[in-house]
Amino acid sequence: MHDERTRIEERVQRAHDQRIKPAIYAATVPLEVEAWQAPGEPVSFEEAAAARYEPFAMNTPWGPPWGTTWFRMRGQVPAEWAGRRVETVIDLGFVGDWPGNQAEALVHLVDGRPLKAVNPLNQYVPVANPAVGGEQIDYLVEAASNPDILKDNFSRTTPMGDKLTAGSAPLYTFQRADLAILDEEVFHLDLDLQVLRGLMVHLPDHEPRRHEILHALDRAMDALDLDDVAGTAAAVREVLAPVLARPAHASAHTVSGVGHAHIDSAWLWPIRETKRKTSRTFSNVTALADEYDDFIFACSQAQQYEWVRDNYPHVWARIQESVKKGQWAPVGGMWVEADGNLPGGEAMARQLIHGKRFFIEHFGIETKGVWLPDSFGYTAAYPQLAKLAGNEWFLTQKISWNQTNKFPHHTFWWEGIDGTRIYTHFPPVDTYNARFSGEEMDRAVRNYSEKGGGTRSLAPFGWGDGGGGPTREIMERARRLADLEGSPKVVIEHPDDFFAQARAEYPDAPVWVGELYLELHRATYTSQARTKQGNRRSEHKLREAELWATTAALHAPGYAYPYEKLDRLWKTVLLHQFHDILPGSSIAWVHREAEAEYARVAEELEALTAEAVAALGAGSSRVFNTSPYDRSEVVRTSAGTPAFVEVPANGSAPLADARPAQPVTVSGRLLDNGLVRVTVAEDGTLESVLDLRAGREVLASAGNLLRLHTDLPNYWDAWDIDSHYKNRYTDLLEATAIEVVSEDPLEGAIRVTRSFGKGSKITQTISVRADSPRIDFATEIDWHEAEKILKAAFPVDVRAAHSSAEIQFGHVQRPTHTNTTWESARFEVSGHRWVHLAEPGYGVAVLNDSTYGHDVSRTVREDGGTTTTVRLSLVRAPRIPDPEADQGKHRFTYSLLPGASIDETVAEGYSLNLPLRVADAAGAPEPVVSVEGQGVTVEAVKLADDASGDVVVRLYESGGGRAQGVLRTGFPLAGAQVTDLLERPLEDAAVEDGGVRVSLRPFQVLTLRLRRG
């Protein structure tokens, strides 16, 4: 047989694209259209319905950036269309084929009920099937003219990322608003051809099945009358029916499909637009569920459900009905799909708590898994936290983006830092926006790593990132692929069902231990420094407010614990931990609003804390310690003078009890407090740090070396740091001023000022305080660089085989060498409050109060000694998608802690991030809780969420070893229970001598519910 593949494939493609697809709609009539441009921000339906509309013609430009235009559309079904399937087809002037980053619209009936959304891949609104001639159509359509931020494919900056800079010129030209007859036979022929062509071109040339399909398609084209597609479509489908009926092989891979619509809670659009995206997508999904009984849609992010509940009650009711019918599957159990590395431990717990609780309260459903496909790496704390929230499985996708190493598994057990394992799946289709194309189905099978052990994988299908969701075309492809020779079998099912079957057939799946590190998007640990600082400060201020509110509720008659305010503030912080907000990868508008929200949160939390402290009664000045560790520390009084105080963990002490301490001496550029002696060099770096206790020099070379690198990644500016950034840099070695700014016996400080680059300026106050080996670098940066990254280096004379970086409820160890590609790919990593380096017998830590990104490297000197260097990433200057990212002023502190063990580092990390508070208060109540025993760290103290008055304490083992201790209470204790994260009892806790005995394995998290006597 002659090889005619090229001729046939080209014949089929042209006939399909130029004849069949245009014939899907058999006849059209235009609607009458009027328009009203809403001023400013979006308005309610009621306001839009009352507005004055003007006639609007097709091919008219409309829509300023971030604007809202309401269209009134009216028409009548022609009498001759009776009995046909009639739809409205709307084209707002769509660009490209991505629904989520351009014009979108929600179609309403005139009574305000949303019908369905339209976007470039979902342009229809059902009218009737069968239609009745003369039926009237009357719609109000809310159209959003969102700019296409990706128009230049991240190659150029754009002012479109903020309504303040985007201008007002119309972005779109309205193309179409018609009533149309859907020719169902042609519609199905289109899908038959899509599936067969997609399958055929991805089958190997030697497969008979490829040639069988090829020649069936050729015969089908012979049956097609190009001048009468509608009249011959049925005959063409009859030719194709036999090849579509051939069943899949018995050993064919099974793809479990579940509908999905990944909606970033903010990214290339602001939060206000996401609220509207949810209504559009969820309207489409519920409409699709009405049409396809076998459709199942998985949806995460409780925050988005809440937006719909509060703003779109009709859509909310439709969601509730779909849940009852089993077609809508709440998944994920998190408030938002948060970043997988940066939220603190308690915040990550609250993501799970608030998310799961929402689904339980509103749907009676307890989600079973963590659905987190798109975060930029995943902390090794996740398995334990997921299990403690009652989850059984974990789903992710993003690791497929690795630059260097291909992740070796698709179905596996993931083991966290404490030893907890959770069953995890990583879809080999390599997308969470699957469409059931031939390419995707081929990739799912080829890519699947567990062949011979497992036989199935998951495929979330539907348009996403900006929403859109599944379409009827995707559902039709899934139906044709259910049992088709040459393809994996496709079954639409709930993710819980997939995981149950996957685990049953493959219980001994391989184990991956530790973090799921994404070898890409490493700059997300640093970009948009003010957003990250706002998150860190908010997390610690929430801890502070909860602790002192609990103290006041226990000891101040008449004080009411602020349940609702704390709940609302927590949810605000959790929302901004979304995986494109906290990582710094959103447009300018998003980060401008985030900074404003964090400022509001800080103000409210300060007020709540002050109110709680004041409720304890007026009196003399006291010092309040929110840290879980006792502190002997210098504090500033209300008059600004320093005092040295000792304050118990989670408690307070009179400022009047301040005691003398060994004084700090300042001599030229030298600071000495008897524990450390710091010498500042003429260029403003640290020339020497002597640990006087250990009798050793800490630094191997200049410390606090500020280095400015060129930072232009190959792609994804706000997301990526590529390894070549290291090759070009400038060391900032010119100090414009070095001056002593404090010679107080309790605090000595030297200020170093530098100017550099394009008008940037750094002022650092290097301080040493009495009785503390910690050296602080209070930093102010006025930053005006572009495509640069600033790092602060501490090369220490320590031969460290690994670095230890704090993560949620513990720490991870990473090798300092680069023996393998896996290690070399970790050239930028994340950590929370500290990084620790140690050799046997001696350790050094670098602490911070707001940054996350850092790198650690190791070299051997000519003298045979080893230099291990920690470099904190302080601030970046990406220009896409926000051309002004990080510009302006920043204030933060980082610290060097010589001679530190892990336990001491943990304590100092809390101290730096939880400054002592001085306030007037009456006598000190006992701390709500205190711990007797090493390594048991209290992370949260609060009243139980059910308003029972019980006290909830979350604690963990923080050193990486076993810990035993006794939790003492500052109130009569009637009983104690161990609970899950949702504060539901698991077992009784051992109460002995008025305390709770605690025994923890390494990094174990324990939640206790304490009943008051």
Q: Nearest to residue 711, comparing CAs of 535, 895, 885, 888?
A: 885
d(CA 846, CA 41): 45
Residues paired with residue 858 on neighbouring β-strands, in sequence order = 868
* DSSP E strand stretches across 260-302: 297-299
d(CA 254, CA 454): 10
Residue 520 tokens, joined: 């890409």
For the chain, the C-alpha Rg in angstroms (whole number) is 31
3-state secondary structure 776-806: EEEEEEEECCCCEEEEEEEEECCCCCEEEEE
Residue type, 834: W
C-alpha of 119 from chain center: 25
* DSSP E strand stretches across 861-950: 866-876, 888-897, 917-920, 929-932, 936-943
CB atoms within 10 A of CB 878: 29
Q: Is 374 known to be catalytic?
A: yes
**Tokens 């708590």 appear where?**
353
User: Are 436 and 479 contacting, i.e. CB atoms less than 8 angstroms apart?
Assistant: no
User: Are 266 and 586 contacting, i.e. CB atoms less than 8 angstroms apart?
Assistant: yes
Three-class SS state of 963: strand
User: Checking phi first, is residue 238 left (phi over 0); if not, alpha (psi -120 to 50) or beta?
Assistant: alpha
d(CA 865, CA 795): 12
What are the distances in angstroms from CA 549 to CA 336, 599, 610?
A: 26, 21, 9
What are the distances in angstroms from CA 149 to CA 98, 100, 466, 591, 772?
A: 12, 10, 12, 16, 50
Contacts of range 10-14, beta carbons closer than 8 Å, 24 or more positions apart? 11/218, 11/221, 12/193, 12/197, 12/217, 12/218, 12/221, 13/197
- Per the document, the length of the chain is 1013
What are the distances in angstroms from CA 355 to CA 335, 351, 512, 998?
A: 4, 6, 26, 29
User: Are 412 and 383 contacting, i.e. CB atoms less than 8 angstroms apart?
Assistant: no
Give the H or E element holding residue 511: strand 511-513
Residues 6+ apart with CB under 8 A from 147: 65, 66, 102, 158, 160, 166, 171
Q: Nearest to residue 144, comparing CAs of 30, 318, 303, 270?
A: 270
Residues 485, 495, 327, 442, Cα dihedral to 10°: -30
CB atoms within 10 A of CB 683: 16
* DSSP E strand stretches across 209-364: 254-259, 297-299, 328-330
CB atoms within 10 A of CB 30: 12
C-alpha of 331 from chain center: 16
Three-class SS state of 35: strand
Which of 148, 190, 374, 442 is the catalytic position?
374
d(CA 749, CA 765): 6
**Tokens 């009936």 appear where?**
109
Residues paired with residue 848 on neighbouring β-strands, in sequence order = 894
Q: Which residues are known to be catalytic?
A: 374
